[in-house]
Structure 1
Amino acid sequence: MSEQTTSGDGDLPGLDDAARRVIGSAGKAPIRVIFVPGLGDRLPPLVHLQREALRTWRALGVRTTMFRVRWSSDASFQDRLDRLDEMIERYEQRGERVALMGASAGAGAVLAAYARRRSVVAVIIIAGKFLEPEDIIKPVLVRNAPFAQSLSTVPKLLEELGPDDRAKILSLRSARDGVVDDEDTLLEGAVNETMRVVGHVIAIGYALMFRARRVVRFLREAMTD
């Protein structure tokens, strides 16, 4: 089961020609953002829209890849974390600097991956749900077992993140979510920002389309600290 990239880059080992040109001309490796969507990653139309939004980030000098947890599958959260970690390592071995971005349930996946691999340069979470499993109705947890597992795993992993680690996390949230409790989208010690939109899905779409420049600026600042 392979993951798909949104930039047209393959997963072959070693630096590609574009990476060599960037490193040779600027002395820095290209930036790769791995995006992890939420529970809607089983819906092709939604995945397509998110992928198309991510394609526009190339104009900002950022390469993007989508990693689908497949929350409604019978895979374990640990197994999917291992697969995400392998993807991060492949891009790092190609000489790219890797950042993680997760929306909704995907926030838990990227936070857990970051706790495991601190070489990740920065983390972005959008309308994140990574705490308080009791707030989720039981049928949703039963139907999305990896999500239920993440809600019990991530809080413990967050305890391993110190102030410097948390400063490299940007949390984007709506003014009023409506799906996730507003307090749950806040992460102590991270850079928490409220967007002038209302709604869970709207916040995710807005962030991908209209907060790209803000995110890229945050990534570059995190890499210079």
Structure 2
Amino acid sequence: MSPRLWATLYFQLEGGDPRLASGIQGDVDELLEAVASLPEKRGSLKEVLRVYPGEVDDFQDVLKEALALALIEEHGGEIRLTEKGWGRLLAHRESFIHEKYGHPKGILGRLSKLIEGRVGDLRAHWRERHGIDRGGLDALYSSLAEFRGRIEDTIPLSSLKPGEDGVVSYYLGGRGLMRRLAEMGLTPGVEVRVVKAAPLHGPIQVSVRGSSLALGRGVASKIFVKPLKQRDDPG
């Protein structure tokens, strides 16, 4: 079964596996993100622990939980995600994106979430309520499967300040937006720098592969990047 189908099953289950009802659930997601962020998407316990963002004291319990749920496996002295683990990871990433960026900010967004309630099938929901077509969704799932790092660290390109850099990670849009951005060279994995941002939600000037581009604020808000340097990093 493909990771995307596993992700769909996780959303259709009421809360997933009952053993995930404990507070350790979020830590398991962090462990899966840590393993997937490694160069070969697998590594020794020492390598996994080095990039694990959770509490070190809880690492052993989280590891046991992930093993018990068959989300990870040990092979040749290395830890790697199972197919089920990949499905869980993609489900976590997709759920985070929808929760964080699927609705407008403020009271309208909160009301929208309240009316919407629990979403069982996010793929259908993206199409029916957000207008993202099949091509756009396939590209989103592909980008999420290739993404390395914590999905929580991604932000809209429009949130970068002038002089800040990021790596394009994924889009939230249909096939038309994908084609337009591809023609501009704004594809996943490409580094982009914000050069100038006009006030009052005006266009954003970015530098991509040595070329200067002007993007409308709406388009820039649908391109998600992983900042190359945290903005609160004193270094």
TM-score, normalising length from structure 1? 0.26
> Rg larger in 1 or in 2?
2
